[in-house]
A and B are shown apart, each in its own frame.
Chain A
């Protein structure tokens, strides 16, 4: 197996992120769900970088896709759509919270003015 330079750089970057995530978990700045998700993601990135052909061929075989390159593209597109959905949902939640806060402040301010 030929060893390329990215197969060293990407795992190192992944390790840095994993260490940072564990540090945040230890300092109670991140929950266990976030830490587990991040750990899984970066572990996946490291494994794909070290064993690109083995993993892409495995994905292609599992999903019945002919080429391993196509499998990677489909997999990444699916991942991007999923992340996009999660982000959109989170933004909607934040907007809803902002509206409730704005309304509460407006009504409290009005009540204060009426009491004066």
Chain B
């Protein structure tokens, strides 16, 4: 485990579906923060997401058809495995995450006591998360933590830093948003060490229109139960 993780050691992988209006700015901001390696996995967008991401300076891999956030995350991990990438940072494409927070996650990972650093919006109460998101997340937390040995404060966070150990071992099977929970549950099963690092988020009208809502939350829960109960071999 290296004592210092340099920004160029990290690949920021961003799952994106119809994020044309914002993806260029998000990629450019990450680059400005000193992270040169950015991979946008375009999940069958019907707009110009891929072109905008390339204009921002990212490399793009495109799914031919929309398969969901979890499928995209696993595609990113496959790419990282193939390329021998040592660290992968997963961030949302809607601009809610601040790449500045990545430094804190890198510092924690450099200590060598975690394989996955989850950026948590709730480990420090900052009050910048809309109540409806807090509600969805708390319900998801109860649901996910039920399958876990310890309690995680933000199981649905899309901002995560993974080391090579985690990249090589994780095998996500849930195509949709349920992958966030699946990754944590699987990490515990694989004895990967998980840490939670406080992050801040910026919600805009745009980002509020994205992500999970009650409908996707119910579907996510059903998919998670299905995977965990009916196909435990996965």
Which A residues have a C-beta under 8 Å from some C-beta of B?
Answer: 89, 92, 95-96, 98-99, 102-103, 105-107, 109-110
Contact = CB atoms under 8 A, between A and B. Distances in A.
Interface string B222-233: 000010001000
A107 B82 contact: yes
23 contacts: A89-B230, A95-B175, A96-B175, A99-B67, A99-B68, A99-B71, A99-B175, A102-B63, A102-B64, A102-B65, A102-B67, A102-B71, A103-B75, A103-B78, A105-B64, A106-B61, A106-B63, A106-B64, A107-B61, A107-B75, A109-B61, A110-B61, A110-B79
Contacts of A103: 63, 67, 71, 74-75, 78
B145 interface: no
Contacts of A99: 67-68, 71, 175
Given A99-B175, A102-B71, A106-B41, 16 more contacts: A89-B230, A95-B175, A98-B67, A99-B71, A102-B44, A102-B65, A103-B63, A103-B67, A103-B71, A103-B74, A105-B64, A106-B64, A107-B75, A107-B78, A107-B79, A107-B82
Most buried by B among A98, A103, A105, A109: A103
Most buried by B among A92, A106, A107, A109: A106
B62 interface: yes
A96 B68 CA distance: 11
A113 B64 CA distance: 15
6 A-B pairs closest in CB distance: A99-B71, A103-B75, A99-B67, A110-B61, A102-B63, A106-B61
Interface residues of B, number: 19
Contacts of A95: 175
A98 B62 CA distance: 14
B173 interface: yes
Nearest to A103: B75
A98 B78 CA distance: 16
A89 B71 CA distance: 18
A106 B41 CA distance: 9
Given A92-B226, A98-B65, A99-B67, A106 B175 contact: no
Contacts of B79: 107, 110
B205 to A, nearest CB: 31
Interface in B63-105: 63-65, 67-68, 71, 74-75, 78-79, 82
Interface in B24-53: 41, 44
Nearest to B234: A96
A33 B214 CA distance: 41
Contacts of A109: 61-62
Nearest to A105: B64
Contacts of A98: 65, 67
Interface in B146-202: 173, 175
Contacts of A102: 44, 63-65, 67, 71
